[in-house]
Amino acid sequence: MRAVITVLGNDRVGIIAAISNILADCNVNILDISQTIMQDIFTMIMLVDISSMEVDFSKLSDQLEKKGRELGLSIRIQHEDIFNSMHRI
């Protein structure tokens, strides 16, 4: 089972590390990352494997949102099928 994590906010040191640490602690594997910085605005999309996750999906979502608030970022996670349905043209 896979999920998509989106991150948006002002660039700063340690964003990827902070998110990666949460994922590692929850046994979530990062499959792919696309990130860019556009005039000091950091954007990232991660595709992650949650099939071996050791916490409830809502708990992981809460942890990521909390870290986002600490870093001044918007961090969201969605199941891949929901993400795809919302972004289908």
Q: Where are the domains of the chain?
A: 2-86
Tens-place pLDDT, residues 60-75: 999 999 999 999 999 9
**Positive/negative CA dihedral, 9, 6, 65, 32:** negative
Q: What is the SS3 assignment for 50-84?
A: CCCCCCCHHHHHHHHHHHHHHHCEEEEEEEHHHHH
Domain 2-86 sits in CATH at 3.30.70.260
Q: Indicate whether 89 pLDDT > 60.
A: no
Confidence of residue 87 (pLDDT cuts 50, 70, 90): low
pLDDT at site 80: 81
Tens-place pLDDT, residues 33-50: 999 999 999 999 999 999
